[in-house]
Amino acid sequence: MEENNFKGQREEPVYTIKMRAGRRRTYFLDVRETKGNDFYITITESKKRQDGGYDRHKIYLYKEDFNKFMESMNDVVNHVKTERMPEYDYDEFTKKQEEYDRMRAEQALNPVVNNEPISAEENSTASNFNSGNANEDVKLHEDRPAENNDPAPSTGNDDDLKW
């Protein structure tokens, strides 16, 4: 793997989970390996600003703290769920996300341009045209911009993009 020439020279994540949280906020849970073959977790919150930029906040979680962290996180979440807001439907946003995903899947199957359905032939042509579009990578990774101390991979190999 290519080494980054930035502060800390951290390697790319060996495992990543991307969790969307609304329109402007995304969480990234990354497992990273140290030079000594040890592992730690970074939790990154990325928020899109009005000006198109991003605010990012990061937490580093080391293996010796995994158990305490999970126990404490479960305690505070359960406290809110049982003591502070027991009447709240905590599945509300999961249901909304599933509905949104279903709607997007239907739109992909039945695309519409200028309020008129696109024929299967037109849709196929558009899909073939877009399949080689370099801008697709930008769209896939637009909510995770590179920053000086945690850059995007620069190898040019799409397999390295594990955001």
Query: Residue 83 and residue 64: Cα distance in Å, rounded?
Result: 30
pLDDT at 68: 98
Q: What are phi and psi of 122, to 5 degrees?
A: -65, -40
**Average pLDDT, consecutive stretches of 10 residues, N- to C-terminus, the chain (163 residues):** 44 92 92 94 96 96 97 97 94 85 88 63 48 36 43 41 42
pLDDT at 116: 66
Asked whether 54 and 145 are in contact (CB, 8 A), the reply is yes
Assign a CATH topology to domain 15-160: Nuclear Transport Factor 2; Chain: A, (3.10.450)
Please, which residues have CB within 8 angstroms of residue 33's CB and are 6 or more apart in sequence? 11, 14, 39
DSSP code at position 118: P
Which residues are registered as beta bridge partners of 60?
Answer: 42
Q: Which residue type, as a one-letter code, is found at position 24? A: R
pLDDT at 127: 45
Asked whether 80 and 74 are in contact (CB, 8 A), the reply is no
Domain boundaries, the chain: 15-160
pLDDT at 101: 87
**Residue recorded with tokens 């995770």:** 144
pLDDT at 118: 59
Please, which residues have CB within 8 angstroms of residue 146's CB and are 6 or more apart in sequence? 152
Tell me the pTM.
Answer: 0.56
Please, which residues have CB within 8 angstroms of residue 9's CB and are 6 or more apart in sequence? 3
